[in-house]
Amino acid sequence: MIRKEVGVHASWLLAGKLIQFLLAFIVGVLVVRYLGPYRFGELSFSLSFVAILAPVSKLGLDSIVVKQLVEKPSKQSLILGSAAMLKLIAVLFVVGTCFTTSFYMKADATVRGMIAIILLGQFLTTFDVGDFYFQSNLAGKFLGIGTVTSSVMSACYRVFLIVTHKSLIWFAMAVVVELTVKAIVSLYFLHARGLSPAEWKFSFPIAKTLLKQGSLLLFSAVAYFIYMKIDQVMIQQFLTERDVGLYAAAVRLSEAWYVVPGVLSVAFFPVIVKFKMDGDSDGYKRVMLQVYGAFTWISVFVAILVTLFSGFLVETIFGDSYIAAAKVLAVHFWSGIFVGFLVFSGKWYVNEGWLNFLLLRNVAGAIVNIVLNLMWIPRYGIVGAAVATLISYFVAGYLFDAVSSRSRECFFQKTCGILGGGLWARRL
């Protein structure tokens, strides 16, 4: 029964993310071509700058709240209400900090204006709390519909901007449009299931528990997004907006693959929580091995194809003006394997309660990425940034787990995945 529910849940999530990816990819290509490397670089820098601190608004609550809702369904309204209030307070902090910091960066008035607009959209992420309810109940249908609806509206908005030849700053509004539609759809489905946010209640003890459990995840998420986005910020500071545009175009293609581990992790997390609660260690290990095995080998196959045809892909999709991004794509795409490892093992760490390891792992990755970027961006340019990112993901997503005896089981699971996780899983 659980397997069937997970299958339906994952199918809706995957369908939603696939449609979102296709729309974002197709319209994104039009935007990249329309703006050109320089203006696209300015937009990408603005998005990356906000993205570094955006995890603070989440407070590391995503997995914690889902886990709490699965384990304590009777306290649903208190958990959701407490999480929503905490997120709203965190958003206020993020908006103030980012906006103030932007005046100390190498950026013009247009870039600062786009940063301000993107920050306004952060207030709407408070409604993401509704997603936690749907995840905990394996109700992927509602998440999928919300994702598709918001993606379609955002895509239509950006196409309208291109057709009407709007200026750069209007493209930052696409973030606000997408988040607004997503919030409206989420509220509609919550009401349809008899859940009104007006009935959610704040509980100081629960908020304190969530904040305590989420604090390590918060710092871990910030560290994770630092080495996810710091490369584009550092490229803009060391090089030019055009270099940011070239690098961001390659990363846009590379990060499209990240949707796969994202969907898989959301789908299997409630399952491993239940396996652990029921004491089914064999089922627990089998799921992890199957996920690592399937994802690794599919990723390797896709990465080989992308590496061989990187020049053709970049020139065909983005045009001749972006051809310098081909070398970046050929290197950066391999990071997707270790990003998957990071996402999957992150859920495993949360389920085991080893949040301190999650924090240390991401801090290690962030330090490696920053140090290597400082050395290699001035010397090797955007290709150096891509290599730095790949190495930092390898260290954080794979090598780090071998350091401690407590996390070594996770390291062995990943190694088995590389060597053929499906075969190992069938022996359990």
Instruction: Please return the burial class of 143, using the count of CB atoms within 10 Å of its CB with bins 0-12, 13-18 and 19+.
Output: buried
Task: Give the confidence band of 423 by pLDDT, cuts at 50, 70, 90.
Answer: very low
Per-residue confidence (pLDDT) for residue 7, from 0 to 100: 57
**pTM (2 d.p.):** 0.72
Q: Dihedral of CA 310/251/166/110: which sign?
A: negative
b/e string for 212-235 if b means 16 or more Cβ within 10 A? ebbebbbbbbbbbbbbbbbbbbbb
Give 279-306 pLDDT, tens digit per residue.
656 666 777 777 777 778 888 888 999 9
Task: Give the confidence band of 370 by pLDDT, cuts at 50, 70, 90.
Answer: very high
Q: Tell me the C-alpha to C-alpha distance, in Å, between residue 327 and each of 189, 217, 299, 368.
A: 44, 34, 19, 21
In the predicted structure, residue 172 carries a pLDDT above the cut 50:
yes
> DSSP code of 166?
-
* Residue 164: other Cβ atoms inside 10 A: 8
In the predicted structure, residue 55 carries a pLDDT above the cut 50:
yes
What average pLDDT does this structure show over 356-364?
Answer: 80
In the predicted structure, residue 1 carries a pLDDT above the cut 50:
no
What average pLDDT does this structure show over 267-285?
Answer: 65
Higher pLDDT, 382 or 182: 382
What average pLDDT does this structure show over 348-370?
Answer: 80
Amino acid code (one letter) for 89: I
Task: Give the confidence band of 427 by pLDDT, cuts at 50, 70, 90.
Answer: very low
- The string of DSSP codes covering 94-105 is HHHHHHHHGGGS
Q: Of 55-59, 125-129, 325-329, which one has max mean pLDDT? A: 325-329
CB 369 within 8 A of CB 394: no
Cα–Cα dist 75/85, whole Å: 16
Per-residue confidence (pLDDT) for residue 374, from 0 to 100: 94
Give 371-410 pLDDT, tens digit per residue.
999 999 999 999 999 999 999 999 988 888 888 777 787 7
Higher pLDDT, 341 or 268: 341
Task: Give the confidence band of 100 by pLDDT, cuts at 50, 70, 90.
Answer: confident
Alpha helices (H) along 164-203? 169-192
Residue 306, token pair as written in the block = 């992308």
Cα–Cα dist 371/376, whole Å: 9
Domain that holds residue 372: 2-427
What average pLDDT does this structure show over 269-273?
Answer: 66
Task: Give the confidence band of 199 by pLDDT, cuts at 50, 70, 90.
Answer: confident
Give 69-99 pLDDT, tens digit per residue.
777 777 777 878 788 888 888 888 888 888 8
Per-residue confidence (pLDDT) for residue 34, from 0 to 100: 92
Residue 202, token pair as written in the block = 């704040």
CB 220 within 8 A of CB 359: yes
Number of domains present in the structure of the chain? 1
Cα–Cα dist 269/292, whole Å: 14
Task: Give the confidence band of 425 by pLDDT, cuts at 50, 70, 90.
Answer: very low
In the predicted structure, residue 2 carries a pLDDT above the cut 60:
no
What average pLDDT does this structure show over 115-131?
Answer: 82
Coil, strand or helix at 299 = helix
b/e string for 128-138 if b means 16 or more Cβ within 10 A? bbbbbbbbbbb
Give 209-268 pLDDT, tens digit per residue.
787 777 766 777 777 777 777 888 899 888 888 899 899 899 888 887 877 777 777 666
- Kindly state the percentage of the chain with pLDDT values over 70: 86
Q: What value, to the nearest 5°, has the Cα angle with vertex 66 and ends 395 and 365?
A: 10
Q: Which of 114, 112, 113, 120 is nearest to 95 (CA)?
A: 120
Amino acid code (one letter) for 31: V
> DSSP code of 333?
T
b/e string for 85-105 if b means 16 or more Cβ within 10 A? bbbeebbeebbeebeeebeee
Per-residue confidence (pLDDT) for residue 296, from 0 to 100: 81
The count of C-alpha atoms lying within 13 angstroms of the C-alpha of 220, restricted to the half-sphere facing its C-beta, is 26
In the predicted structure, residue 175 carries a pLDDT above the cut 90:
no
Q: Of 11-20, 319-328, 346-355, which one has max mean pLDDT? A: 319-328
Per-residue confidence (pLDDT) for residue 381, from 0 to 100: 93
What average pLDDT does this structure show over 355-364?
Answer: 79
Q: Which of 185, 64, 210 is nearest to 136 (CA)?
A: 64
376 Cα distance to chain centroid: 25
Per-residue confidence (pLDDT) for residue 139, from 0 to 100: 61
Q: Tell me the C-alpha to C-alpha distance, in Å, between residue 369 and each of 134, 329, 394.
A: 35, 17, 11
Mean pLDDT, the chain, rounded, equals 80
